[in-house]
């Protein structure tokens, strides 16, 4: 099995934007529309307020995920733009990215991480649950969406 390499990149870098575009297309296919209309700003993914990570497998970018600060207290991170390219699924990419995102948030003083997910993403929900995430009250852009499920866990 090939080793997965994680690199921190700018959210607006070409490699990150290719993966984000693919992630939004995947969400659009599941839910319709543009995929995710949550407002994001490049600056939200710049340390120390956040970070964006890309996973490489055999030198090719195959997955991504990031975190941005959430709330006023400065202790919570929000997971955003988790994605694994279809050809790389089932190879541990998502779990590796998630662990790296969590570590990055921890390294920047966050002690909790939260996320929004849709109910048409059973593989993501299973991964989050197996990683210790528990259902929390919906929040953010999709808090009132009927197909939104939110999760959180302590770091």
Contacts of 1 (CB under 8 A, 6+ apart): 91
Q: How many helices and strands in the chain, by DSSP H and E? A: 3, 7
The dihedral region occupied by 71, where left means phi > 0, alpha psi between -120 and 50, and beta the remainder, is left
Residue 42 in any domain: the answer is: yes
Q: What is the domain range of residue 25?
A: 4-113
The answer to whether residue 8 sits within a structural domain is yes
pLDDT per residue as tens digits for the range 95-130? 999 999 999 999 999 999 999 999 999 999 999 999
Write the pLDDT tens digit of every residue in 77-92. 999 999 999 999 999 9
**Structure token pair of residue 67:** 């975190």
**Is 45 inside any structural domain?**
yes
CATH of the domain at 62: 3.40.630.30
If DSSP codes are grouped into helix, strand and coil, which group holds residue 45? helix
For the segment 27-45, what is each residue's pLDDT rounded down to a tens digit? 999 998 888 888 899 999 9
What is the distance between the alpha carbons of residues 105 and 111, in angstroms, rounded to a whole number? 8
This prediction has a pTM of 0.95
Let me know if residue 123 belongs to a domain. no
Q: Is residue 130 part of a domain?
A: no
Count of the separate structural domains present in the chain: 1
CA distance 135 to 138: 9
In a domain, 129, yes or no: no
């Amino acid at each position: 099995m090939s080793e997965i390499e994680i690199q921190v990149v700018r959210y607006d870098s070409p490699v990150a934007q290719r993966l984000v575009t693919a992630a939004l297309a995947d969400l659009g296919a599941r839910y319709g529309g543009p995929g995710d209309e949550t407002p994001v700003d490049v600056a939200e993914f710049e340390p120390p307020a956040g970070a964006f990570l890309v996973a490489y497998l055999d030198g090719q970018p195959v997955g991504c995920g990031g975190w941005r600060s959430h709330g006023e207290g400065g202790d919570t991170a929000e997971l955003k733009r988790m994605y694994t390219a279809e050809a790389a699924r089932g190879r541990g990419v998502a779990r590796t990215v998630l662990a790296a995102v969590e570590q990055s948030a921890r390294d920047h003083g966050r002690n909790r991480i939260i996320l929004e997910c849709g109910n048409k993403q059973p593989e993501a929900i299973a991964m989050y649950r197996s990683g210790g995430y528990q259902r929390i009250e919906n929040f953010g852009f999709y808090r009132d969406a009927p197909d939104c499920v939110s999760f959180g866990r302590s770091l």
